[in-house]
Amino acid sequence: MSENVITPQSGTRKTGDTLRICVFVGFMAALVYVGNFLQIKIPNGVLVTRIHLGNSMCLLAGLLLGRLKGGLASGIGAALYDLVDPVYIVSAPYTFISKFAMGFTAGHIRKHSSDNENKAVITGAVVGQLVYIVLYLLKTFLSQIILGEPVSVALKLTGVNALTSVINAALACIIAVPLYFSLSRALKHTSISRYITEKEESKGWFNPVTAGLTVFAVIVTVLYSINLANTNKLEKIQTEKEQAYIAQIEDLQYQIDFITQEMGIVIPERETAGE
């Protein structure tokens, strides 16, 4: 009767695999991070939107590494960018979820579609981008509604961001798909190849992971929007108080000037020290 024995060699091999996976995920996360800096910022009066190369690296990570590893690389790299930019720092948790969903979806479709690799890669890239666009626009719309903007204004701002999102999506697919085919061929005879070509256990398009991510993304969106609304409200209250104090001081100064003029009182100017 034979038994499965874990030998030192097999343990070393598993450790080596884990280390390689961590290196691959870290490397792709770095590419996502750098890709976000290659950007054109477009202020639209209220929000700031961008055209950048970060999404192409997110798709590439998902297509190369698969759903979980690719999703982690996408989410980590994009969230790190948000954390170092004061404009986006508060949205880092939501960015992690939405970018993870993009890489996860692209990797899932690429790894579980039919034997037609070309079709699987293109479909994965397109659907991955669509998932991200939906989550991003959902965040934009809900944020504006919770901030107290009318639905018409929220829809208008969401529409403006939708335009740049579509441009980013097209750019990402145009860059990521050819890059995937070039890199997969170049890495065909290396130790990395098996991580690209190996199939993952299929759980269907809709599974507990994707369902959980969707619910979590919506919850994070609502919490993020509420936090943003509260911050905005506090700043507004503080500004109103400061304006009220200034108005009171100006009114008091006016009354003092009026009384002194009526009574003919001349208030001497205060001499400065040393004169």
* Cα–Cα distance measured from residue 58 to residue 102, given in angstroms and rounded to the nearest whole number: 7
% the chain with pLDDT above 90: 25
Instruction: Please state which CATH number belongs to domain 16-235.
Output: 1.10.1760.20
Q: What mean pLDDT do residues 73-82 have?
A: 93
pLDDT of residue 1: 43
pLDDT of residue 6: 42
Question: Which of the two residues, 136 and 189, has the higher pLDDT score?
Answer: 136
Give yes or no for a contact between 70 and 113, defined as CB atoms under 8 angstroms apart.
no
Please spell the DSSP secondary structure of 122-146, one letter per residue: HHHHHHHHHHHHHHHHHHHHHHHHH
pLDDT of residue 33: 95
Question: Which of the two residues, 206 and 14, has the higher pLDDT score?
Answer: 14
Express each pLDDT in 82-119 by its tens digit.
999 887 888 888 889 899 999 999 998 988 776 688 88
Question: Which of the two residues, 226 and 257, has the higher pLDDT score?
Answer: 257
Short-list 37, 73, 40, CA closest to 58: 73
pLDDT of residue 225: 61
Domain boundaries, the chain: 16-235
* Cα–Cα distance measured from residue 35 to residue 88, given in angstroms and rounded to the nearest whole number: 16
3-state secondary structure of 40: strand
Express each pLDDT in 10-68 by its tens digit.
455 566 678 888 888 999 999 999 998 988 877 766 566 778 899 999 999 999 988 88
Give 212's pLDDT tier (boundaries 50, 70, 90).
low
Q: Where are the alpha helices (DSSP H) in the chain?
A: 8-37, 54-65, 67-83, 92-112, 117-146, 151-186, 193-197, 208-263
Give 241's pLDDT tier (boundaries 50, 70, 90).
confident
Rounded to 5 degrees, what are φ and ψ at 43?
-70, 135
pLDDT of residue 75: 93
Express each pLDDT in 169-190 by its tens digit.
999 999 999 999 998 888 777 7
